[in-house]
């Protein structure tokens, strides 16, 4: 079948920046309003071309879709969590696309009836598109704030519902982000507005429940468009944090959550390349900062003055401190070393440290949602290339651990698959980690099709987690590999910096060298080697074809 792709017309458009003028012949394809008839017509032509090209594979596409859907349970219930006197959970019912959000008082038994906070299926019923961006319950448990997008542009509308009467308040806060938080009076709501043109989150506003939107007060506006604005509450519930973050610099402002008219106070002024996040608990601030090292340390202070920050965990060259969670008697840190994540619990009184052990050669673990600090129970997640997402609860006092929930994958048997974690020596002598998985029975050394996934941008880590859709490849004999190339964050901040700007070629070279070594070790057939990426991951695909077609 000889089908020609649509050809976009060229309309020269001059763009001048820093005294340099360049011509963009395809600038006309930018349509921020998604309404230009010429752009929509061209996109329709592209879609039709794609359908025609793939028509010969229609039967296979239908089969793959059928397999993937069959692995998803038609009915599913999330593991309930407890916050402020209520249990919360999400329920997916057979035939429904969206979740039903429920809560239940902790004084009741779990098998008793649950209150429906929101049925997203009903909210989406009369719209072509719907996304629920987040919900927040007021501290007195009587009002729900809800962010919804009906446009598919991440432009959310914030609505408010009285949970006692079930009635919705009349106000609608438009063009907001998914970042919003209640003050402690359960009447004042802080939310983030997006810029009308760029859609970047840039302003923090204060709304009073039941009052006209015109009465809302601007609390903070970010003038630098390279910074993103968000809000959240500290563990102590004493402060609302306005967090400002760019690619390499961050800043935090504090709002007293007890005051309806609180003014923001600067925690630590921004300076180039200093990144930090701050929490507050038991009358002290806890700060994750890279002020003393690229891989971040953890500090504690009773005051904002950086000179008085006490070091709890000093930055380490080979270990990235990624996150932390505070409990009454415990501090839990999420760290990354040798390309893998790990969790460590530290007794806040004795300072005794205990690592949480994992069995798989390639895996990822993460801190779960732990909204109640006055407990010894830690929730954390775990996944590997042969283990579906699993939620554990650990009693840090006794050491007892139990599985709260594991994602059910119909027809999956873990013993049929094998995962490996390798190190490949790149052309400049640097060791690059690789995670891979295959079906034990279908693997044929030197003859299997091999799909290598690459990323390597923004310091983001491509972790070795589970994918139910990937099983359709493995069951057909594919070997699936993740090349954790430079530019990602798998080996810390330096790993990221060694794959950006003037060192960007390291990303592509790492990817090519991983492919060569995997073929050399017999993980695939050279004639059946495939590359995969997405978004910025196209870098790896495009440059891989350019330098080693």
List domains and CATH numbers for the chain.
75-324 (2.130.10.120), 414-532 (3.40.50.1820)
- Residue 537: pLDDT above 50? no
Per the rule left: phi > 0, alpha: psi between -120 and 50, beta: everything else, 283 is left
Mean pLDDT, to the nearest integer, of 214-219? Answer: 97
541 pLDDT above the threshold of 50? no
Reported pTM = 0.89
**% pLDDT > 70, the chain:** 97
CA angle at 201 for the pair 243 and 128, rounded to the nearest 5°: 130
Would you place residue 536 in the very low, low, confident or very high pLDDT band (cuts 50, 70, 90)? very low
| Overall average pLDDT of the 447-456 stretch | 96
Q: How far is CA 1 from the centre of its chain?
A: 41
- What mean pLDDT value characterizes the chain? 94
Residue 34 binned pLDDT confidence (cut-offs 50, 70, 90): confident
Taking 3-state DSSP, the helix, strand and coil percentages for the chain, each rounded to the nearest 5, stand at: 15, 40, 40
Would you state the pLDDT for residue 482? 97
- Cα gap 507→485, rounded to integer Å: 6
**How far is it, in rounded angstroms, from Cα 321 to Cα 489?**
11
Cross-strand partners of 390: 382, 406
- pLDDT, average across residues 216-242: 97
pLDDT at position 538 is: 33
Q: Is the pLDDT assigned to residue 417 strictly greater than 70?
A: yes
Residues 481-503 have a mean pLDDT of: 95
468, HSE (Cβ side, Cα atoms, 13 Å): 18
What's the rounded Cα separation, in Å, for the pair 450 and 213?
56
User: Whole-angstrom Cα distance, residue 427 to residue 507?
Assistant: 12
Question: What's the confidence (pLDDT) of residue 1?
Answer: 62
The mean pLDDT of 114-122, rounded to a whole number, is 97
SS3 assignment, position 113:
coil
What average pLDDT does range 57-61 have in this prediction?
95
pLDDT one-digit tens code per residue, 285-340: 999 999 999 999 999 999 999 999 999 999 999 999 999 999 999 999 999 999 99
């Amino acid at each position: 079948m000889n089908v020609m792709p649509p050809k976009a017309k060229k309309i020269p458009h001059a763009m001048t920046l820093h005294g340099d003028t360049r011509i963009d012949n395809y600038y006309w394809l930018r349509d921020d309003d998604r309404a230009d008839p010429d752009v929509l017509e061209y996109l329709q032509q592209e879609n039709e071309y794609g359908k025609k090209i793939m028509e010969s594979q229609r039967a296979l596409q239908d089969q793959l879709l059928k397999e993937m859907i069959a692995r998803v349970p038609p009915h599913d219930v999330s593991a309930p969590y407890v916050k402020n006197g209520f249990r919360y959970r999400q329920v997916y019912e057979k035939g429904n696309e969206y979740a039903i959000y429920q809560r239940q008082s902790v004084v009741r038994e779990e098998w008793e009836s649950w209150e429906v906070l929101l049925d997203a299926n009903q909210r989406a019923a009369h719209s072509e598109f719907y996304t629920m961006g987040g919900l927040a319950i007021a501290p007195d448990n009587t009002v729900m704030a809800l962010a919804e997008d009906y446009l598919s542009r991440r432009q959310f509308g914030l609505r408010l519902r009285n949970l006692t009467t079930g009635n919705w308040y009349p106000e609608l806060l438009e063009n907001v982000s998914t970042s919003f938080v209640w003050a402690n009076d359960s009447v004042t709501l802080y939310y983030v507005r997006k810029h009308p043109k760029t859609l970047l989150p840039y302003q923090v506003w204060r709304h009073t429940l039941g009052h006209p939107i015109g009465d809302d007060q601007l609390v903070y506006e970010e003038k630098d468009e390279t910074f993103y604005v968000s809000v959240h509450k500290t563990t102590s519930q004493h402060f609302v944090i306005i967090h400002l973050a760019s690619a390499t610099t961050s800043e935090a402002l504090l709002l007293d959550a007890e005051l309806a008219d609180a003014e923001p106070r600067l925690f630590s002024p921004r300076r180039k390349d200093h990144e930090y996040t701050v929490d507050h608990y038991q009358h002290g601030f806890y700060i994750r900062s890279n002020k003393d090292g690229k891989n971040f340390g953890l500090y504690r202070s009773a005051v904002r003055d950086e000179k008085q920050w006490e070091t709890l965990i000093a930055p380490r060259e080979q270990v990235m401190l990624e996150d932390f969670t505070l409990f009454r008697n415990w501090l839990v840190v999420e760290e990354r070393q040798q390309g893998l994540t790990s969790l460590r619990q530290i007794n806040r009184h004795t300072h005794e440290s205990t690592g949480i052990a994992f069995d798989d050669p390639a895996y990822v673990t993460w801190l779960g949602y732990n909204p109640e600090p006055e407990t010894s129970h830690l929730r954390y997640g775990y996944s590997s290339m042969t283990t579906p997402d699993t939620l554990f609860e650990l009693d840090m006092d006794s050491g007892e651990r139990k599985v709260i929930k594991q994602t059910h994958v119909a027809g999956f048997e873990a013993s049929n698959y094998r995962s490996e974690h390798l190190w490949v020596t790149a052309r400049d002598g640097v060791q690059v980690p690789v995670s891979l998985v295959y079906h034990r029975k279908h693997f044929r050394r030197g003859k299997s099709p091999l799909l290598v996934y690459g990323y390597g941008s923004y310091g983001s880590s491509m972790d070795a987690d589970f994918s139910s859709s990937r099983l359709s490849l493995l069951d057909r004999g594919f070997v699936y590999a993740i090349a954790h190339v430079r530019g990602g964050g798998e080996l810390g901040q330096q790993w990221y910096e060694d794959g950006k700007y003037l060192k960007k070629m390291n990303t592509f070279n790492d990817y090519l060298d991983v492919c060569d070594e995997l073929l050399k070790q017999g993980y695939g057939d050279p004639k059946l080697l495939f590359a995969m990426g997405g978004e910025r991951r196209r870098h790896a695909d495009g440059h891989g074809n350019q330098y080693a077609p």
